[in-house]
Amino acid sequence: MKFFASKLAPTRGALEFSMLLQRIFAAVLLLACAGLALMAWP
């Protein structure tokens, strides 16, 4: 994934934005999983 990102956008700013986007995406997935787990809790 990082290889393709570096190929598409070799600039430093774009790379940092890509890492930030991945971090936000991971946080959203984590929150979604936590929310589902809390809702499924009896």
Q: What total of structural domains would you count in the chain?
A: 1
Is the confidence at residue 6, as pLDDT, over 70?
no
Give the residue numbers spanning the domain of 30: 2-40
φ/ψ of 11, rounded to 5, equals -70, 150
| CB proximity list for 16: less than 8 A, separation 6 or greater | none
Is the confidence at residue 18, as pLDDT, over 60?
yes
| CB proximity list for 1: less than 8 A, separation 6 or greater | 22
Burial class (CB in 10 A: 0-12, 13-18, 19+), 18: middle
In the prediction, which pLDDT does 1 show? 54
- Which two tokens mark 3? 């290889």
C-alpha dihedral over 24, 30, 36, 37, to 10 degrees? -160
Note the pTM of the prediction, 2 decimals.
Answer: 0.58
In the prediction, which pLDDT does 39 show? 92
